[in-house]
Amino acid sequence: MAKYSITVNGQSHEVDALEDMPLLWVLRDIIGLKGTKYGCGKALCGACTVHLDDVAIRSCSYPVSSIGAAKVTTIEGLAEKGDHPLQKAWEEHMVPQCGYCQTGQIMNAAALLKTNPNPTEEAIQQAMEGNLCRCGTYNRIKAAIMSAASVSEK
Amino acid sequence: MKKLSKTQGGVAVTSEVFKASRRDFLKMGTLLTGSLVLGVSFSGCDKKSNKKVAFAPNVYLSIDGQGKVTIVAHRSEMGQGIRTSLPLIVADELGADWNKVKIVQAEGNEKKYGNQNTDGSFSVRMFYKPMREAGAVARLLLMQVAAKKWDVSVDRCDTEAGYVILTGTDKKLEFGELAEEASTLPVPGVSAVKLKERARFNMIGKPTPIVDLHDITTGKAVFGIDAAVEGMKIAVIKRSPVVGGSVKSVNDQKALKVPGVHKVITVKGAGLPATLSKPLAGVAVIADNTWSAIKGCELLEIEWELGPNASYDSAIQIQELTKEIAKSGKVRRNRGNFDAARGGAKKVIEHTYIAPNLAHATLEAPAALAVVKDGICEVWACTQNPQGAIKAVATALGFAEDKVKMNVTLIGGGFGRKSKPDFIVEAAILAKESGMPVKVQWTREDDIHHDYFHSLSVQRVVATIDKDNNLSGWNHHIAYPSISATEDPAALQPSDGELGLGATDFPYQVPSIRIETHDARAQIRVGWLRSVRNIPQVFAIGTMLDEVAEARGIDPVANALELLGPDGNITFSQETGKEAYPNYGEDIAVYPWETARMKAVIQRVAKESGWGKKLPVRSGLGFAAHKSFLTYVACVVQVHVDENNTVTIPEVHYAVDCGTAVNIDRIKSQFEGGAQFSTSIALKSAITVKNGQVQENNFDGYQIIRMSESPQKIHVHIIDSEAKPTGVGEPPVPPFTPALCNAIYAAIGKRVYTLPIDLRT
């Protein structure tokens, strides 16, 4: 066990954890932020996606000891009022079915738009390939990302 | 078969609206004095015993003095949108302001809510009418109060957006002003209320966003995995790698040294039969957090007694069943004389169809939290079947059922997996034994290894074409480990219920039909997966019909229309030797099999998809149609197969007749999702078992489709209908796979007989 100081959504947290504990479980079990989901534990499904600085990472496979001074952003911190252009587009396109994978999808898409504000359909597909949805909302996810991107462009 | 023995199945249901006691409603936490509180109860007549059956109220509705309408959602939400669709029916009939409607999830309680088992594409079918009646009764009571205040007759009143209005004037009164007095009036019988004309619906038949939408996009939605109480510990369990195995010995010394680990507890498990409700044998590590529990589990040293299933090999079973179905089987439906048809045939087409075991792989792995205190067990779980879970927990703990409280969370994907309460029982047992609140968390590997699998199948279909170029004979041989075998190992044959999902309800007018089944032993836990046996049975039927059309030199769509025969209703009973074809638990006189409706969806999908249109090289269109869960569906899939034999699906068209459409958007989303779910089945997913142990571990081995592999455009054409509504959760799945296979044939001339599709072989 070791003590770590990590910054999540702009807030500093002191956590006492095993050094190989993945960030996912630190967020969920220690800090109590449950919008980030467990899906596979092996970086295969993207349900646990958060941002480390501005980059999307799979928090299920990212040990707490590797975070250092980097800033973690979760779905709870994506937009204070829950009105990020992607969240709005997600609602407009009525994307979710069961909803379980959707926070990971949104976080992954948000990281994409930071580096590529106006992605082509192919770029979206490539970026989102690591995020599984068992209910099958892929087409609406794609449409929502495209409309959020076009809104941000204006 | 459990799946089909639903409480309401075979019961003609009538409903009654009554004034509920305040106590019944207090839990909603919204009750102010002066609220109108109504419950709807069902009573019916069991068509078999002709006995009166009393049902508990399934719906509660309240209107408080502020005009806030509260509706209890008593079915489980798993992505189908039921927490929205049922309440919106009440609200639309009532004339409520949807923005002022609060929806409260019911706990599991049979006495209070009747059947809550959410599967079988069942909820809208069963509750559409009672929901409307609840809304209509409340509306009438409110209008009676307003009419008295205005001194006019009730017929001059109407409701709109949370107000009673006086038609032809601008007078209006908010529901909140009327609720208290309405609560003192006698409740009219449902026969006294007039339901709204269809043209006056504001929500039914239109798209409505789901009520949990914002919570989902902001991460606030609470699934089973998110349930928490003060002092909660996390348990991860290492289960017997073989079904029916048991723990011989455990060395937990290393596990207990992991920081955060508190206890190691052995879970006895069901043994054999594995059952549809009891846990597998295993050893649980209880820790402060999930990571410590996972690490502890990895360090357990367990010696297993693996039991008789340790020799099971799914590939060998497929080989054995392939030999078996070449023989004669047990006849389950017989019409005409197939042998004579075969003898006189000009052409005989015969093929064997193989499909693998499948896992549900819900993105949320099973998780449940239990607290046992003062002789009461309280649970929070992502369950499709809260009452089944209560029974299973009560049995496991030796508690009375009323000492088990079941809170239902959102479900992160169900597809039938979360109808089984094994994971909930695990939490209850561990909470009782440890004396701590325990959440059981399945890992993805646990989920893939220890599912209630959709079992593998081997089928043989023989179709005969006579000298007049007609399809003269149809012989379908079927073998798969039955769901029944999970409870009863002596069950070696498909049940009537399983065969009624696409096989014995073969609707085409062929003079000779013989359906035969063969023994197959279950050596894994077999359960039901979205659309169940329709998946393999319709894969075989839908692809064979395409070959029949080709052999006859007829277009596949024209072939299907012709084989359905003249407009009329089909009954299957005389030919199956049974009292009645299962018909998804409904009386076939009430929900007939109407050929005209099937033909209408086929014609619609052909028109919308541009059936017959010219496509680029290595592209093709494929067609299949199938009625399941009482909903008529036809499907056209367009594929492209590149030079490396990679399959892409640019476009899919569905036409669906599900009777009255309730939430158009959720019907569409179920079909979009159904197409994607089927694409995984067709192209990707398979569970293989060696030495009784599942070989796939995670999403690398057990694959489901990703965005680039998914059908790119999915068009859903809904037939405008006023017929009784039927479900849409499962019906999109069955026709998709055969339509895709037929499209591949159209594109590259290669027939598919084995799933998942591998064009290299």
A30 touches chain B (CB under 8 A): yes
Shortest alpha-carbon distance between residue B234 and chain A (Å): 9
Q: What percent of chain B has pLDDT over 70?
A: 93
Query: What mean pLDDT do residues B577-585 have?
Result: 80
- For B522-558, how does the pLDDT look when each residue is reduced to its tens digit (9 = 90+)? 999 999 999 999 999 999 999 999 999 999 999 999 9
Q: Which of B294, B260, B297 is nearest to B282 (CA)?
A: B297
- Report residue B95's pLDDT band, with 50, 70 and 90 as the boundaries: very high
Chain B residues within 8 A of A41 when measuring between CB atoms: 294, 443-445, 698
Packing angle, helices B664-683 and A138-153, rounded to 10: 120
Question: Are B545 and B435 within 8 A, CB to CB?
Answer: no
Please give the average per-residue pLDDT across B472-496, as a whole number: 97
Cis? peptide before B494, omega within 30° of 0: no
Residue B750: pLDDT above 90? yes
Interchain CB distance below 8 Å, B707 and A18: no
The answer to whether residue B70 scores a pLDDT higher than 60 is yes
Does B8 score more than 50 pLDDT? no
B412 and A CB contact within 8 Å: yes
pLDDT at position B119 is: 85
Helix (H) or strand (E) holding B545: helix B534-552
Of A111, A29, A105, residue with least CA distance to A73: A111
Q: Provide the pLDDT for residue B56.
A: 41
Q: Residue A37: count other Cβ atoms within 10 Å of its Cβ.
A: 29
Q: Count contacts between A and B (CB, < 8 Å).
A: 185
Cβ contact B667:B636 at 8 Å:
no
Interface of A with B in 125-154 (CB under 8 A): 125-126, 128-142
B273 Cβ neighbours under 8 A, 6+ residues apart? B485, B486, B487, B488, B489
Nearest CA to B437 out of B286, B643, B333, B557 is that of B286
For residues B381-390, average pLDDT: 96
Q: Which residue of A has its CA nearest to B207?
A: A94
Per-residue pLDDT at B4 exceeds 80? no
Residues 6+ apart with CB under 8 A from B79: A96, A97, A98, A99, A135, B411, B413, B414, B673
Cβ–Cβ under 8 Å, residues B548 and B509: no
Within 8 A by CB and 6+ apart from B377, the residues are B370, B371, B393, B397, B399, B403, B404, B405, B428, B431, B432
pLDDT value, residue B226: 98
Band the pLDDT of B22: cuts 50, 70, 90: low
Instruction: Quote the minimal CA–CA distance from B697 to chain A in Å.
Output: 10
pTM score: 0.95
Q: What per-residue confidence (pLDDT) applies to B696?
A: 98
pLDDT digits (tens, 9 = 90+) for A26-46: 999 999 999 999 999 999 999
The answer to whether A132 contacts B363, with C-beta atoms less than 8 Å apart, is yes
Residues B634-664 pLDDT 10s: 999 999 999 999 999 999 999 999 999 999 9
Cβ distance A87 to B217 less than 8 Å, yes or no, reads: yes
Q: Which residues of A touch B216 (CB under 8 A)?
A: 96, 99, 102-103
Per-residue HEC secondary structure of B338-349 comes to HHHHHHCCCEEE
Place of tokens 């738009």: A113
Minimum distance, in Å, between the CA of residue B291 and any CA atom of chain A: 6
Please name the residue of chain A whose CA is at the shortest distance from the CA of residue B672.
A136
| Half-sphere exposure in the Cβ direction for B421 (13 Å, CA) | 27
Mean pLDDT of B295-306: 98
pLDDT of residue B85: 93
Q: Point out the residue among B222, B260, B672 whose CB comes nearest to the CB of A136.
A: B672
Q: Which pLDDT value is given to residue B110?
A: 81
Identify the band that residue B9 occupies on the pLDDT scale cut at 50, 70 and 90: very low
Smallest CA–CA separation between A13 and chain B, in Å?
A: 17
Query: Which of B212, B216, B663, B679 to substitute to test the interface with A, most A CBs within 10 Å?
Result: B216
Q: Inform me whether the pLDDT recorded for A154 exceeds 60.
A: no
Beta bridge mates, B648: B640
Chain B stretch 178-237, residues whose beta carbon is closer than 8 A to a beta carbon of chain A = 207, 209-210, 212-223, 225-226, 228, 234
Q: Which residue ranges form the domains of chain A, and what is each CATH number?
A: 2-77 (3.10.20.30), 85-153 (1.10.150.120)
Q: Does A119 touch chain B (CB under 8 A)?
A: no
Decide if A115 touches B, using CB distance below 8 A: no
Cβ count near B342 (within 10 Å): 18
Report helix, strand or coil for A97: coil
Instruction: Report the percent of chain B where pLDDT is more than 90.
Output: 83
Tell whether A104 is within 8 A of chain B (Cβ): no
Q: B interface mutation test: which of A20, A36, A40, A92 has the most B CBs within 10 A?
A: A40
Asked if B282 reaches chain A (Cβ–Cβ under 8 Å), the answer is no
- Of B485, B468, B666, which is closest to residue B554 (Cα–Cα)? B468
- Report the number of secondary-structure helices (H) and strands (E) in chain B: 20, 30
Residue B602 and residue B558: Cα distance in Å, rounded?
A: 9
Tell me the angle at which helices A85-92 and A102-115 cross, rounded to the nearest 10 degrees: 130
In the chain, the amino acid numbered A134 is R
Average pLDDT, chain A: 96
pLDDT of residue B157: 97
In the chain, the amino acid numbered B288 is: D
Distance from CA of B700 to the nearest CA of A (A): 7
pLDDT at B42: 55
- Residue B59: the pLDDT is 64
pLDDT digits (tens, 9 = 90+) for B146-176: 999 999 999 999 999 999 999 999 999 999 9
Pick the CATH number of B2-217 from 3.30.365.10, 3.40.50.12280, 3.30.70.270, 3.30.450.20: 3.30.365.10
Sorted by where each begins, the domain ranges of chain B are 2-217, 224-308+366-441, 314-359+452-748
pLDDT score, position B286: 98
Residue B31 has pLDDT above 80, yes or no: no
* DSSP states along B76-103: --SSS-HHHHHHHHHHHHHT--GGGEEE
**Span B723-746, average pLDDT:** 97
* pLDDT value of residue B582: 86
User: Residue B49 has what pLDDT?
Assistant: 45
Q: Does the CB of B571 have a partner CB in chain A at under 8 Å?
A: no
Cβ distance of A90 and B288 shorter than 8 Å: no
Please check the confidence at residue B140 and state whether its pLDDT lies above 90. yes
Residue B5 in this model has a pLDDT that exceeds 60: no
pLDDT band at B192 (very low <50, low <70, confident <90, very high): confident
Q: Show residues of chain B in contact with A106, CB under 8 Å.
A: 217
Q: Cβ–Cβ contacts within 10 Å for residue B721, how many?
A: 18
Was domain B224-308+366-441 assigned CATH 3.30.365.10? yes
Architecture of domain B314-359+452-748: 2-Layer Sandwich (3.30)
pLDDT number for residue A152: 64
Contacting residues for B610 by C-beta, under 8 A, at least 6 apart? none
User: Which pLDDT does position B1 carry in this prediction?
Assistant: 34
DSSP string, B20-80: PPHHHHHTTS---TT-EEEEEEEEEEETTT--EEEEEEEEEEEE-TT--EEEEE-S--SSS
Q: Nearest by CB to A97, which of B79, B215, B710?
A: B79
**Test the B interface: residue of A27, A100, A101, A146 with most B CBs within 10 Å:** A100
The answer, yes or no, to whether residue B6 has pLDDT greater than 90, is no
pLDDT at residue B460 above 60?
yes
State the pLDDT at residue B21.
60
- Region A66-85 average pLDDT: 97
The answer to whether residue B12 scores a pLDDT higher than 80 is no
- Name the closest residue on chain B to residue A121, using Cα atoms: B708
Check: CB of residue B56 under 8 Å from CB of residue B114: yes
Position B54 scores a pLDDT of 38
Position A18 pLDDT exceeds 80? yes
Q: Sign of the C-alpha dihedral, residues A133, A137, A143, A147? A: negative
- Interface check for A75 against chain B (CB to CB < 8 A): the answer is yes
**Three-class secondary structure of residue B518 per DSSP:** coil
User: CA of A20 to nearest chain B CA: how many angstroms apart?
Assistant: 9
